[in-house]
Amino acid sequence: MPDLLTIDRLRAGYGDAVVLPQVSLAVAEGEALALLGRNGMGKTTLIDSIIGVTRHRGGTIHLAGRDITPLRPEQRARAGIGWVPQERNIFKSLTVEENLTAVARPGAWTLPRIYELFPRLEERKANLGNQLSGGEQQMLAVARALVVNPRILLLDEPLEGLAPILVDELLAALRRIVRANGVAAIIVEQNAGKILTVCDRVAIIERGSIVYQASSSAVKDDPGILENHLAVTDTARAVRTDGWASLASARRLARAVIASGT
Strand partners, 8: 60
pLDDT bracket for residue 123 (50, 70, 90) = very high
Task: Report the Cα–Cα distance between both ends of the chain, in Å, rounded.
Answer: 39
Which pLDDT does position 31 carry in this prediction?
A: 96
Highest mean pLDDT among 28-37, 218-227, 234-243, 246-255: 28-37
Which pLDDT does position 260 carry in this prediction?
A: 40
Mean pLDDT on 224-249: 57
pLDDT bracket for residue 248 (50, 70, 90) = low
201: closest CA among 191, 216, 190? 216
Which pLDDT does position 231 carry in this prediction?
A: 73
- Name the pTM for this structure: 0.86
Which pLDDT does position 50 carry in this prediction?
A: 97
The enclosing H or E element of 27 equals: strand 17-28
Would you say residue 202 has pLDDT above 90? yes
pLDDT bracket for residue 181 (50, 70, 90) = confident
With vertex at residue 189, the alpha carbon angle to CA 35 and CA 243, rounded to the nearest 5 degrees, is: 80
Q: Where are the domains of the chain?
A: 3-80+159-260, 92-149
Which pLDDT does position 2 carry in this prediction?
A: 87
Q: Is 258 exposed, middle or buried (0-12, 13-18, 19+ CB in 10 A)?
A: middle
User: For the segment 56-78, what is each residue's pLDDT rounded down to a tens digit?
Assistant: 999 999 999 999 999 999 999 99
Highest mean pLDDT among 37-46, 52-61, 244-253: 52-61
Would you say residue 157 has pLDDT above 70? yes
- CATH classification for the domain delimited by 3-80+159-260, as one of 1.10.10.1800, 2.30.40.10, 3.30.950.10, 3.40.50.300: 3.40.50.300
